[in-house]
Every structure is written in C-alpha cells, then in structure tokens.
Amino acid sequence: MYRFSRAIYRELADEIVEEQYNNECPRTNHERVLRACEAAVERLATDRHYFAYPARSLFGDIRVYFPMSAQMRVLRVIERYLGFADEFLRRQPQNGYDVYGNPLQCRASTRRGTQCQRMPLPHNGYCPSHQHLAETEDEELAAAFAAA
C-alpha cells in the first residue's frame, strides 16, 4: 500500500515549503508530508467504512506545507492517487483477510461491549447477525442528505 502514499509524496515533493529558521533538520516538512500520506493510505486500507473523505482529510493535514499557488494541484494529486488506492482495495479478494493479512471482523460490538468476532459480509462490513445496523446507517444517511 505504500506505493500509493509514496507516489503522492514523489509528485508533490518539489513544492513543499521548508521552514527558513530550522537549520537542525532541514527536511522536516518533507517527512511530515510523507508520514501523513502513509497514515492516510494505511487508514484507507484498514478502516475504509469509517474513513468517509480520505482525500479531504489528507489535504487538510498537509496543505500547510505548500504555497497557496500549489494548493489546487495538491488536492488534485491527492484525489487521483487515493482514488487509485480505493480502486485497488475494491478489487482485492475478500477471503476473510484485509490487505495486511489480518482477519476481518464485523464492525459491530456485542452487548458486552467487545467487538463482534464473526466474519463480515463484503458489501457492508457487518456479519449476518448485525445486518440491521447497516440498514439503519443507510436510513440515517438518506435523512442527512434530505436535510441538507
């Protein structure tokens, strides 16, 4: 998954503004941008259902390291590469494991407060016992769009 975050960084690295008064570590802003890109792509891979707007989130994290004249290009690059990463993740087989080899678990929690250990269905991340939660999410989303 790091190929997507590194591609974002490589395309934007020339435009990163460095701090003028930081002589101790001259590449700190570059490192911050790279770490933010890696964190966003990793979260997209492991927590897709709760990461609604990854491009907007990453842009908000790194836009301070770029001049105003480059902000639109930064946003476009982020949207393009995170779109590629999302498409790659959608094409991966759902054989019970995520991209990193960890077993998939239902998104719901049990009555005791622990996470449900059952295998989720690929289309919404809930096991058959918790499908009713996916239906209520859809209703809440429709109500939010209707109100807006």
Question: When comparing pLDDT for 62 and 129, which is higher?
Answer: 62
Q: Which residues contact 65 (CB under 8 A, 6 or more apart)?
A: 16, 17, 29, 32, 33
The domain limits of the chain are: 2-91, 104-148
Residue 41 has pLDDT above 80, yes or no: yes
> How much is the pTM?
0.69
Residue 133 has pLDDT above 90, yes or no: no
Q: What percent of the chain has pLDDT over 90?
A: 39
